[in-house]
Chain A
Amino acid sequence: DAGVIQSPRHEVTEMGQEVTLRCKPISGHDYLFWYRQTMMRGLELLIYFNNNVPIDDSGMPEDRFSAKMPNASFSTLKIQPSEPRDSAVYFCASSFPELYGYTFGSGTRLTVV
Chain B
Amino acid sequence: GENVEQHPSTLSVQEGDSAVIKCTYSDSASNYFPWYKQELGKGPQLIIDIRSNVGEKKDQRIAVTLNKTAKHFSLHITETQPEDSAVYFCAASKANRDDKIIFGKGTRLHILP
Contacts and interface: CB of A to CB of B under 8 A. Distances in A.
Q: Do A and B bind each other?
A: yes
A104 B89 CA distance: 13
A50 B101 CA distance: 14
Interface residues of B, number: 22
B98 A55 contact: yes
Interface in B59-96: 89, 93, 95
Contacts, number: 47
Nearest to A4: B43
A110 interface: no
Contact of B46 (A33, A102, A105): A102
A90 B93 CA distance: 21
Interface residues of A, number: 21
B42 A106 contact: yes
Contact of B101 (A91, A102, A106, A107): A102
A101 B43 contact: no
Contacts of A97: 97
Contacts of A31: 97
Contacts of B45: 104
A50 B98 CA distance: 8
Interface of B: 32, 34, 36, 41-46, 49, 89, 93, 95, 97-98, 100-106
5 contacts: A4-B43, A91-B43, A91-B44, A101-B49, A104-B45
